Structure 1
């Protein structure tokens, strides 16, 4: 039976909370591919996206996505297929995503920094049919890695390459003949994002067309994006933050212009801000600090920059205070997760709220509970683990039934693992994490992933990794090891070389090494990690003075 909502007719069956969210007007029966068509009709000849010397209007972006959709179909992809998409910030990233949305193919968004082991773990979870990579980026040969991955996973039938010299060039797909596009259910899976990776291998986060559209549309309203918004995608676009909070999609939705920065450093970003009159960008705290330090010597004109969103990790108050006087822009704190819930400080908030909190939920439909270790709600003003559910928050990870049993409550609340407290005004302040992980420059490193690898390294008897506060990175990783042979002590370079040989990317490799002969213990006999942090900080300070 068809359901009508706001003049829109629903031809797909819905049940439970998803049906309730549709009937309340939060979810709409429109695919992400349909949204691009709408934007093309509304904003036709306005500039949609800029990438180096290429400039696409909304019409051209729409046409390229359609042509690429035909190409993917002709290459053998079909609705429901998964494709690993591992691209830097570029136009191909955007056109490929919308092409896949139009034919029901599911992009799995991998980070450019991930290497063979990481990609293999994703393949094991989703059995992709294809893999899309650049030829090279920042000196790394992605095609060579992709060929190895393809040979290891029989599900991968096709490699697509964003480039002109390879036989698998994605550009060749643009010359395929038109064909009928399939009818796609907007309430089903559209894309798979990566979780923060608190348990070794990142979980895959299933986002539907309708819930992700609500994600960026409502975000664009809260953040006051408009057709005059010029958004710089500085962070890797595969992250939820720059993709849809409001990010690239939210900017396109209001007819604004997206500027792609291949790298997030100030040397490229500041030049783009000046050239394209950028008004808005999103950063993680360590990157913000680097930008602030760069302003001391950089002479580019970034006066058009009026809003800097900061999220991904908690921003300290002293750094927050520097944004307006040194960058000349407003600060907006963002707290959220690729699994759904988004909190923002509002542009109308008092300065104290913007500096000291991570804002309040984007939607009145977001439900939040703060609970203690026993699952009981904490008293007002006390910190607890944040549990949430809502129209754009997932109800389970992809192909992860056993994990879902512990990551969600029986009534559908997602256990975020974030420890937060609520202020009397209704804003939230992040206090920490339930699970052990290191937030290094916005990239999450699971201790449980790296420690077992190090413990297999012959010179090491036992290892413990702790997070150390760092002015530039936010947190750096320090590994304490006991040696299997006190006459042959491992060096930091030894550990990095070993991990690199296992395919562990640089950001997951330790930043600091400490050799110990015994572990400091708590009163109950557990390793005292607070004591380890203090030792690491003291030793680093001594080395800097010597």
Structure 2
């Protein structure tokens, strides 16, 4: 049975939408039509290379991709998913992910882009917020799920959480919990991919391309994740322009080493940008230099996207034992700020052109251009995609600051959302009355228009490109019987960008717990959200109104280098 339609979200005013259509930023194309056009246009060109659930390498043409979309759509429909229904993806970088994603688009369902590292707490939240019809998983090393039994256990925990949260809601039915291995893509036969038989191109309602196509995830500053409604029109505009700026063409081979559903890997220009131009996508089962370098050599990869820790690892590995990276032309680095000292090493060591990327799943994406001077490519995070991107850099009173002065970044434009799905008051506050999105980033703008990221406004930790909501970690820590209070802060780290430091005040008379990390795992936190360091304090500094002061804690920790992971601090 199909779920209720997505609720209305704060969106672009009609006069703004009309302007974007008139300017050619938005087209009438949906993702189902996008896939159909690529299959028909590029036919026998190679589209996807990746492993399947059985660990066997698959090599698909665009015609095969069309057949996989039909298989995926039929499989979802067979499990009760219909047009407009939401499907939470929890899949590693395998061909099953591509089949389910393409199948959802072909069916007219709305994928929710869960990451492989998410666990029952996060997945249940996504399913609840989206009122999902299905959650699709797959055993795989990137998820830490070794076999179908572990996937079944995870799904059982999700079902328990959802049953407890939703069982009292009238008419609620739990989502189907699906193992994508049952797609059996090793048996895929292309034949004639009849995408016309599927309902995705016949989305109901006015202007189908302006309906929600997918739900991306925001890191958020609270324990409740925010779901980002992206339309066919706005997301495909970002994809097209990204492919143009990055000079993709049909001869390119893109390596996807990051989680494929992440906004960066999917659309900047990512998998969708490659499909836009008829290029080939190679899915890396893991991002390690050993795996990635082997694929670069074997598949003659030309383009790769990394977060700063991976870029640093690749540089170190190439220095230790040089690999054949002769085919590689461009390495993008984004997700977190790249240290200039590392940026200066990427090109000479890897033999590539560096492109810095700065953006957010809510919309705005910036790229350095290939013809930028070295200093700009090494120290800035680029220029916005579009001339229609509106950028405001403001002080604490929302007054614009001059170029060169640090301020808070606000933005609006043809691919930046105007509201979250089912927003909380905190989420609503992320938008101004006239539609600017408060990104939470602090930046400086150069006279050239390039942005330099200087930090974050929000209580959020950016660890290797993953956004960690401090409230979620703190609330889980305080649930431990020995913990009186807890605060999580980001500490500068040359490798991760920021590492997670959890500061703990114990209940009176309690010893430092030896099971705190296991407790956090048991609360359902993903591994990337666990603290890199735990420090025990007797009390927290407070503000004038009695609130815990993160700013003062950061200052104290910078001064007191004696705080360690094993010693309490008086």
TM-score (norm 1): 0.90
2:176 to 150, 158, 177: 158
Q: Which runs of 5+ in 1 are unaligned?
A: 1-12
- Deviations 1:419-446 (CA, angstroms, capped at 9, x unpaired): 1111011111111111111111211111
CA contact (8 A) 2:356 2:377 kept: yes
Shift of 1:465: 1.9
Partner of 1:500: 521
2:317 to 276, 294, 299: 294
Shift of 1:487: 5.5
Cα distance 1:500–1:74, how it changes in 2: closer, same or farther (>3 A)?
A: closer
Cα distance 1:208–1:170, how it changes in 2: closer, same or farther (>3 A)?
A: farther
Shift of 1:174: 9.2
1:63 to 43, 52, 67: 67
Partner of 1:36: 35
Higher relative contact order (CA 8 A, sep 6+): 2
**Residue correspondence of structure 1 range 65-464 to structure 2 within 5 A:** 65-138=69-142, 139-140=144-145, 141-150=150-159, 152-153=162-163, 155-164=173-182, 181=199, 183-184=202-203, 185-400=208-423, 402-464=425-487
Larger deviation, residues 138-147 vs 326-335 = 138-147
1: distance between equivalents of 2:295 and 2:220? Answer: 32
Partner of 2:14: 15
C-alpha RMSD over aligned residues: 2.6
1: distance between equivalents of 2:342 and 2:480? Answer: 39
2: distance between equivalents of 1:159 and 1:200? Answer: 23
2:532 to 499, 511, 522: 511
- Deviations 1:103-137 (CA, angstroms, capped at 9, x unpaired): 22111110110111111111221111111110344
Larger deviation, residues 495-504 vs 13-22 = 13-22
CA contact (8 A) 1:107 1:191 kept: yes
Shift of 1:480: 2.0
CA contact (8 A) 1:68 1:173 kept: no
- Deviations 1:431-462 (CA, angstroms, capped at 9, x unpaired): 11111111112111111111122123222222
2: distance between equivalents of 1:357 and 1:501? Answer: 40
CA contact (8 A) 1:81 1:105 kept: yes
CA contact (8 A) 1:66 1:99 kept: yes
Classify the secondary structure of the residue corresponding to 1:530. Answer: helix
Cα distance 1:321–1:180, how it changes in 2: closer, same or farther (>3 A)?
A: closer
Classify the secondary structure of the residue corresponding to 2:361. Answer: coil
CA contact (8 A) 1:466 1:532 kept: no
CA contact (8 A) 2:505 2:539 kept: yes
Larger deviation, residues 34-43 vs 56-65 = 34-43
CA contact (8 A) 1:187 1:209 kept: yes
Shift of 1:520: 5.1
Cα distance 1:106–1:537, how it changes in 2: closer, same or farther (>3 A)?
A: farther
Matched, 1:533 2:557: yes
Shift of 1:331: 0.7
2: distance between equivalents of 1:490 and 1:137? Answer: 30
- Deviations 1:135-163 (CA, angstroms, capped at 9, x unpaired): 34454122321233245345334233121
TM-score (norm 2): 0.87
2: distance between equivalents of 1:174 and 1:459? Answer: 58
Question: Number of aligned pairs?
Answer: 526
Classify the secondary structure of the residue corresponding to 1:296. Answer: helix
Cα distance 1:181–1:521, how it changes in 2: closer, same or farther (>3 A)?
A: closer
Classify the secondary structure of the residue corresponding to 1:349. Answer: coil
2: distance between equivalents of 1:177 and 1:144? Answer: 36
Classify the secondary structure of the residue corresponding to 1:213. Answer: helix
- Deviations 1:255-292 (CA, angstroms, capped at 9, x unpaired): 11100012111121111111111111111111211222
CA contact (8 A) 2:68 2:102 kept: no
Shift of 1:353: 0.7
Larger deviation, residues 512-521 vs 378-387 = 512-521
CA contact (8 A) 1:131 1:156 kept: no
Q: Which runs of 5+ in 2 are unaligned?
A: 1-11, 52-56, 164-171
CA contact (8 A) 2:83 2:199 kept: no
2: distance between equivalents of 1:17 and 1:101? Answer: 26
CA contact (8 A) 1:132 1:159 kept: yes
